[in-house]
């Protein structure tokens, strides 16, 4: 099986940190202004051997080239083994897998788990490529209260909450639902909330090269609510601010005020 997004994320650190326009480890080192179209950066971004889109105007950032770790055929082929594992689990818990309510549970649970990790089947590039538009707009765009469902990678128990995304376009805007789709791709995986926040922010940065991106996630972790410390009302809030959201406190304030209203 291919390695997951974890290693791809690490590979983005290989970019030259001195390049003023590059994205280093997801953080902007460069100036707020950069050429619209991003053609100047196509040369700056390291083209990996066998990079698919060297001829296109849009620079191909490494984390876009997520290796697809799963296909629909993979899903079908792993289903029997997954179902068998779930039958073992049912038996290990002291249940009777033959009783009526549990007869098809291994298959249902296996399919459900595959659905909860369908983010491994999808690539950002497929979702975004045709929804980036040139628009003479440089005011903040916010999409808030995006419902998010993920799985805790430590306990395999759901995490759910809301994502608020804001960005300052640099003459390029993104179809609004695509922000929600980016959330879906990264959240439908085995995740850690901190990583999820950063991945969403970096994906938008690399797609649009905006002046700044802010992502705030507030979520409830069932692993804390249903078990362990059992704190019913606790919420975890993480945020990633890139570009001018990080540098300019007024921009950040505006974003945070607007998502709370």
Closest C-alpha among 140, 141, 84, 143 to residue 109: 84
Among 16, 134, 147, 247, binds another protein (CB under 8 A): 147
Could you write out the three-class secondary structure of 183-240?
Answer: HHHHHCCEECHHHHHHHHHHHHHHHHCCCEEEEEEEEEEHHHHCCCCCCCCCCEEEEE
Among 42, 132, 142, 190, binds another protein (CB under 8 A): 190
CB atoms within 10 A of CB 186: 24
Q: Is 154 part of the annotated catalytic residue set?
A: yes
Q: Cβ of residue 196: shortest distance to another protein, in angstroms?
A: 12
Closest C-alpha among 189, 176, 186, 190 to residue 240: 186
Tell me: does residue 229 bind another protein (CB under 8 A): no
Among 32, 125, 142, 192, binds another protein (CB under 8 A): 192
Size of the site for another protein (CB under 8 A): 55
Q: Is 193 part of the annotated catalytic residue set?
A: yes
Residues 6+ apart with CB under 8 A from 187: 119, 148, 149, 150, 163, 196
Q: Under rule CB under 8 A, which residues in 86-145 are in contact with another protein?
A: 86, 88-96, 99, 101-102, 104-105, 108-109, 112-117, 120
In the complex, the residues that contact another protein under the rule CB under 8 A are: 1-4, 6-7, 69-70, 74, 78, 81-82, 84-86, 88-96, 99, 101-102, 104-105, 108-109, 112-117, 120, 147, 149, 153-158, 160, 190, 192, 222-223, 225-227, 232
């Amino acid at each position: 099986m291919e390695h997951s997004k974890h290693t791809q994320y690490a590979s983005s650190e290989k970019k030259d940190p001195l390049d003023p326009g590059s994205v280093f480890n997801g953080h902007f080192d460069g100036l707020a202004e950069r050429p619209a179209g991003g053609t100047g950066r196509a040369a700056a971004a390291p083209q990996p051997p066998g990079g698919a889109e060297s001829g296109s105007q849009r620079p191909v950032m490494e984390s876009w080239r997520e290796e697809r770790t799963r296909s629909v055929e993979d899903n079908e082929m792993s289903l029997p083994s997954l179902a068998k594992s779930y039958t073992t689990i049912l038996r290990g818990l002291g249940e009777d897998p033959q009783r009526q309510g549990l007869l098809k549970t291994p298959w249902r649970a296996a399919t459900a788990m595959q659905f909860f990790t369908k983010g491994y089947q999808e690539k950002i590039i497929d979702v975004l490529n045709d929804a980036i538009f040139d628009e003479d707009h440089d005011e903040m765009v916010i999409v808030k209260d995006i419902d998010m469902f993920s799985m805790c990678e430590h306990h395999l128990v759901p995490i759910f909450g809301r994502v608020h995304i804001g960005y300052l376009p640099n003459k390029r805007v993104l179809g609004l639902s695509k922000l929600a789709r980016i959330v879906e791709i990264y959240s439908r995986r085995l995740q850690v909330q901190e990583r999820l926040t950063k991945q969403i922010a970096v994906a938008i940065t690399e797609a649009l090269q905006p002046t700044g991106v802010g992502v705030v996630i507030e979520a409830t972790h069932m692993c804390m609510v249903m078990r362990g410390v059992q704190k019913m009302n606790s919420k975890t809030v993480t945020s990633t601010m890139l570009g001018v959201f990080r540098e300019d406190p007024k921009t950040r304030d505006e974003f945070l005020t607007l998502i709370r209203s």
